[in-house]
């Protein structure tokens, strides 16, 4: 077996001791608990789910997250034998074609959950055997698998939305959203040399964040808040979906082929008012909530209609992480919009409201320039194609980034169903531009001169 240390990203040896055995065990337990809770009320038929390109069968996905942890922690980092001899044939997403996942001889739900519990418990045993703090290579792969599972618990959440299942019942701290209203206007971001990406001081990064490199940022103006449902309704009612002139050629091709005439999950009620589907419930549009479930093409068309544009990802990161200095961007960066500490009470993450909050909420999370909710509430599309940073080298989990370069668009910031521990200003999400099912919205910039 290739020595694990040789396959680690640059920062792993310095970073991993920051995580104690107790914290790693707590996160493994918490991530697996959320997986279980997100499927606990689903019937056998719901766990299979209809065959769709944009979802996985939930039963398969349970096995996949357990397999991923077994592969990287138990087999790769610890050199243990496989728990299930058929695991690679069933759950390796890089090898098992998407459409075939409905045809696999999967165990029944109880056996699948038992497999996930067995993997979890053996990870606890591996951490206990290492002492405190765990060896850096083991800590790194435990973190990798926790964060991977965090991404899948978000995917479980939007799968429930896609399929019209009820909202999940999770044992997480909940809060009632306050009525905060809109947040109009732009903020000015100065120009300068900005270092895009993560630095080696970051405790854990994915390969597509490495490493910080200089980019030139021209001064620009960015909206303080994401586009709201009320604002997007103006585009809809002005015939935005029928005006070819505001769509790119690819966007118009998508709109024509899909037949989209308004946003996904919207419809007019019998009294002529617009409503939207939130899981299995139809609710009135929330005028001051961010627009959600729009794809990149829809976001771009709205911007063209409004005489605006989406930010590039380096503009987005400069607005979220940058600090002003003598009329320019400082060489310093913040880890989070509000500062360097993970104060996620300043963001709508971790299923806090089981949905979005008003765009003016969470004033404590403002960036140095006054942009709000750059972490949480909705993912934000950017105008940037997902590309490697200079000098990119794939980490051990090679399938994470490299296969998706050039075909996906970058999103930033996280959403209400994203785990806070996963997020920072440099974190890059990426999806194909036609995806509407994810919890994504966007904010706008003033046009360039």
| Residue 449 confidence (pLDDT) | 73
| Residue 176 confidence (pLDDT) | 78
DSSP string, 391-438: T----SSTTTTGGGTTTSEEEES--TTS-GGG--TT-EEEE-TT--SS
In the sheet with 281-284, reading across from the earlier edge strand, the strands are 266-268, 274-278, 281-284
Q: What b/e string do you get for 9-18 counting C-beta neighbours within 10 Å, with b at 16 or more? A: bebbeebbee
Which architecture, in CATH terms, is 181-449? Alpha-Beta Complex (3.90)
> How many CB atoms neighbour CB 412 within 10 A?
24
**Per-residue tokens: 407:** 């075909």
CATH, range 4-162: 1.20.120
Distance of alpha carbon 237 from alpha carbon 200, whole angstroms: 48
Residue owning tokens 């964040």: 209
Record the pTM: 0.95
Residue 448 CA from chain centroid, whole number: 28
| Residue 183 confidence (pLDDT) | 97
Question: Which residues share a beta bridge with 186?
Answer: 223
DSSP string, 314-349: HHHHHHHHEEEETTEEEEEE-SBTTBSS--GGGS--
Distance of alpha carbon 160 from alpha carbon 49, whole angstroms: 10
Domain ranges of the chain: 4-162, 181-449
Per-residue pLDDT of the chain (449 residues; tens, 9 = 90+): 222 232 233 333 334 447 999 999 999 999 999 999 999 999 999 999 999 999 999 999 999 999 999 999 999 999 999 999 999 999 999 999 999 999 999 989 999 999 999 999 999 999 999 888 999 999 999 999 999 999 999 999 999 999 999 999 998 888 777 789 999 999 999 999 999 999 999 989 999 999 999 999 999 999 999 999 999 999 999 999 999 999 999 999 999 999 999 999 999 999 999 999 999 999 999 999 999 999 999 999 999 999 999 999 999 999 999 999 999 999 899 999 999 999 999 999 999 999 999 999 999 999 999 999 999 999 999 999 999 999 999 999 999 999 999 999 999 999 999 999 999 999 999 999 999 999 999 999 999 87
| Residue 300 confidence (pLDDT) | 98
| Residue 43 confidence (pLDDT) | 96
> How many CB atoms neighbour CB 174 within 10 A?
11
How far the first Cα of the chain sits from its last, in Å, is: 56
């Amino acid at each position: 077996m290739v020595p694990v240390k040789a396959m680690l990203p640059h920062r792993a040896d310095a970073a991993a001791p920051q995580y104690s055995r107790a914290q790693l065990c707590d996160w493994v337990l918490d991530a697996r608990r959320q997986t279980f809770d997100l499927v606990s009320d689903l019937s056998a038929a719901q766990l299979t789910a209809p065959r769709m390109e944009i979802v996985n069968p939930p039963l398969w996905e349970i096995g996949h997250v357990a397999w991923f942890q077994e592969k990287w922690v138990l087999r790769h980092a610890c050199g243990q034998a496989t728990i299930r001899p058929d695991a690679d044939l069933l759950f390796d997403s890089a090898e098992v074609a998407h459409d075939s996942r409905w045809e696999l001889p999967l165990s029944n739900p109880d056996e699948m959950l038992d497999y996930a519990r067995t993997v979890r418990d053996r990870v606890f045993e591996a951490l206990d055997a290492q002492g405190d703090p765990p060896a850096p290579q083991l800590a790194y792969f435990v973190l990798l698998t926790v964060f991977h599972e965090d991404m899948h618990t978000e995917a479980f959440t939007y799968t429930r939305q896609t399929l019209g299942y009820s909202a999940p019942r999770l044992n997480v701290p909940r809060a009632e959203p306050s009525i905060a209203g809109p947040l109009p206007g732009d903020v000015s971001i100065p120009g300068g040399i900005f270092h895009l990406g993560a630095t080696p001081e970051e405790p854990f990064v994915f390969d597509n964040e490495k490493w910080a490199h200089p980019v030139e940022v021209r001064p620009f103006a960015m909206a303080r808040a994401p586009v709201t449902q009320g604002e997007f309704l103006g585009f809809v009612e002005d015939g935005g979906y029928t005006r070819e002139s505001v769509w790119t050629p690819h966007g118009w091709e998508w709109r024509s082929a899909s037949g989209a005439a308004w946003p996904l999950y919207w419809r007019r009620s019998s009294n002529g008012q617009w409503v939207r589907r939130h899981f299995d419930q139809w609710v009135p549009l929330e005028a001051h909530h961010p627009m959600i479930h729009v794809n990149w093409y829809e976001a771009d068309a709205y911007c063209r209609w409004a005489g605006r544009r989406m930010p590039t990802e380096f503009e987005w990161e400069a607005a979220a992480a940058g600090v002003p200095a003598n009329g320019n961007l400082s060489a310093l960066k913040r880890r989070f919009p509000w500062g360097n500490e993970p104060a996620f009470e300043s963001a709508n993450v971790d299923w806090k409201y089981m949905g979005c909050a008003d765009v003016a909420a969470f004033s404590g999370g403002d960036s140095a320039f006054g942009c709000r909710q750059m972490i949480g509430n909705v993912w934000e599309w950017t105008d940037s194609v997902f590309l490697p940073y200079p000098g990119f080298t794939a980490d051990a989990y090679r399938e994470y980034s490299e296969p998706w370069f050039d075909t996906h668009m970058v999103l930033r910031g996280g959403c209400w169903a994203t785990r806070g521990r996963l997020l920072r200003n440099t974190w890059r999400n990426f999806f194909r531009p036609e995806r509407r099912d994810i919890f994504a919205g966007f904010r706008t910039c003033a046009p360039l001169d």
